């Protein structure tokens, strides 16, 4: 019996690691790379290279099914431990997830859409939307194929092209808000609707409404799931792999969360997956220079943009969390005063990862917003402390609601969100 169980475990491990490698490989290779694998290795005995060379359509017809099957296999294998973890969690077994949570999430999205008039698919989101149309079949290079998962899921669900990709993006945003609400429930924090509105005016939520179509929303969902349904290590590692397939920069944020999420054995596996991913990232994208080249804007690197205007970079960091910095600083100060240095260090590491994030692009406030777990962890610390921090929390949230949400880029002028905040800003500037 022990041999049978051990054999099943080994077989399950092999399947899971195959799913990990398969999804990461898909996220890092365009169709041309896979085709060269057929024509440049021993696999060419199965295909006539001359025929494929003369007929790209046949070439694509052979590789497309292979990529699609690999995607479905990988997603299924990685999803199994995630759904098992959710099903076995106390939230589900105790029936603490209710229709009221879903209704509140829907209402919150509606209110936030009144505060921030929803945007259209634009910028890189246009490329993601177009990619959802031709996923697996386009022969020319898709420049941001490293952000593979969101267009791939949209393609599978037939949410293809600009219009339906926009709808899919807002479905993802609604899911994010719903899971955010569950985070408060899972941590036994009573939260008012107006407090959720205030939280929604920070960059990690409002950006999804004003600039839909970016994969940030998936990464936020995966991170929250890892904290809410903190089951076995494999489910959290699966969420980590899904994040890597969504956006390469998620590696930075997950590294800052790894010490909190994983035990020693889990951290080793996390490190191995990171190593595999980094190897693929550099090996399949013309090395470090090829990876960094996609981040240059106006023939300047992100480092040069920040060095030329560090004050603007700081402005982006500040406006990303707005007045909720009060909660974050308060939690760190409280933890240090109680000599709970490990917990304080965890929050600080998340914030430091946000500073690294702003070197990944020129949209500073958006990228630093990926540190949203620093807000939530700080909120939890203050809520469950022996001191009464409720007044401080409420003051921070009220001030946060009144401070305009501002998109800060390393070029051009900072953008005050249109709608509610623009009216407030106009009123005071005209007064």
Non-local CB neighbours of 336 within 8 Å, separated by 6+ positions: 344
Tens digit of pLDDT at every position of the chain (431 positions) = 577 778 888 888 899 999 999 999 888 876 555 555 555 555 555 555 555 554 556 556 667 787 888 899 999 999 999 999 998 888 877 778 888 999 999 999 999 999 988 989 988 899 899 888 887 765 444 445 578 899 999 999 999 999 999 999 999 999 999 999 999 999 999 999 999 999 999 999 999 999 999 999 999 999 999 999 877 899 999 999 999 999 988 999 999 999 889 988 999 999 999 999 998 888 776 656 556 555 566 666 777 878 788 888 899 999 999 999 999 999 999 999 999 999 999 999 999 999 999 888 788 899 999 999 999 999 999 999 888 899 999 999 999 998 888 888 877 666 665 666 666 666 555 55
State the Cα–Cα distance between residues 122 and 207, nearest whole angstrom.
Answer: 13
What DSSP letter does each residue of 118-158 carry, written as one string? ---S-THHHHHHHHHHHTTT--S--TTTTS-HHHHHHHHTT
DSSP 231-264: --HHHHHHHHHHHHHH-TTHHHHHHHHHHHH--H
Structural domains in the chain (count): 1
**Sign of dihedral through CA atoms 122, 124, 125, 128?**
positive
3-state secondary structure of 407: strand
What is each CA distance from 318 to 254, 315, 405, 407, in whole angstroms?
Answer: 22, 5, 11, 11
Domain hosting residue 186, numbered range: 2-430
What DSSP state is assigned to residue 405? P
Whole-prediction pTM: 0.90
């Amino acid at each position: 019996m022990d041999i049978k169980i051990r054999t099943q475990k080994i077989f399950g491990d092999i399947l899971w690691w195959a799913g990990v490698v398969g999804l990461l490989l898909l996220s890092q290779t365009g169709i041309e790379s896979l085709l060269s694998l057929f024509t440049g290795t021993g696999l060419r005995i199965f295909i006539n290279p001359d025929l494929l060379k003369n007929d790209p359509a046949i070439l694509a017809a052979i590789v497309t099914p292979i990529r699609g099957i690999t995607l479905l296999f990988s997603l299924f294998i990685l999803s199994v431990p995630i759904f098992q973890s959710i099903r076995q969690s106390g939230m589900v077994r105790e029936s603490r997830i209710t229709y009221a949570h879903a209704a509140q999430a829907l209402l919150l999205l509606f209110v936030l859409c009144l505060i921030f008039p929803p945007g259209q698919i634009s910028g890189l989101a246009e490329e993601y939307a177009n990619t959802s149309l031709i996923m697996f079949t386009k022969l020319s290079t898709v420049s941001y194929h490293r952000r593979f998962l969101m267009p791939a899921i949209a393609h599978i669900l037939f949410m293809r092209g600009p219009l339906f990709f926009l709808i899919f993006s807002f479905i993802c945003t609604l899911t994010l808000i719903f899971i955010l609400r569950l985070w408060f429930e899972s941590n036994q924090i009573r939260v008012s609707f107006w407090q959720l509105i205030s939280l929604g005016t920070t960059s990690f939520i409002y950006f999804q409404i004003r600039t839909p179509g970016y994969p940030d929303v998936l990464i936020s969902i995966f991170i929250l799931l890892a904290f809410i349904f903190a089951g076995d290590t494999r489910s959290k590692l699966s969420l980590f792999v899904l994040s890597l397939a969504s956006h390469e920069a998620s590696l930075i944020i997950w590294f800052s969360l790894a010490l909190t999420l994983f035990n020693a054995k889990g951290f080793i596996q996390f490190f191995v997956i990171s190593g595999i991913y980094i190897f693929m990232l550099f090996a399949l994208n013309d090395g470090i220079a090829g990876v960094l080249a996609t981040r240059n804007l106006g023939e300047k690197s992100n480092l040069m943009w920040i060095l030329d205007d560090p004050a603007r970079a700081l402005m982006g960091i500040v406006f990303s969390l707005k007045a909720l910095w009060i909660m974050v600083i308060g939690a760190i100060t409280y933890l240090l005063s109680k000599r709970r240095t490990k917990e304080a260090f965890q929050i600080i590491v998340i914030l430091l990862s946000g500073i690294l994030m702003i070197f990944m692009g020129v949209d500073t406030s958006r990228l630093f917003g990926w540190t949203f777990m620093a807000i939530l962890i700080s909120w939890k610390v203050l809520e469950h402390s022996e001191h009464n921090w409720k007044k401080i929390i409420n003051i921070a949230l009220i001030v946060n609601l009144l401070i305009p949400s501002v998109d800060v880029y390393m070029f051009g002028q900072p953008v005050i969100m249109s709608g509610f905040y623009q009216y407030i800003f106009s009123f005071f500037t005209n007064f």
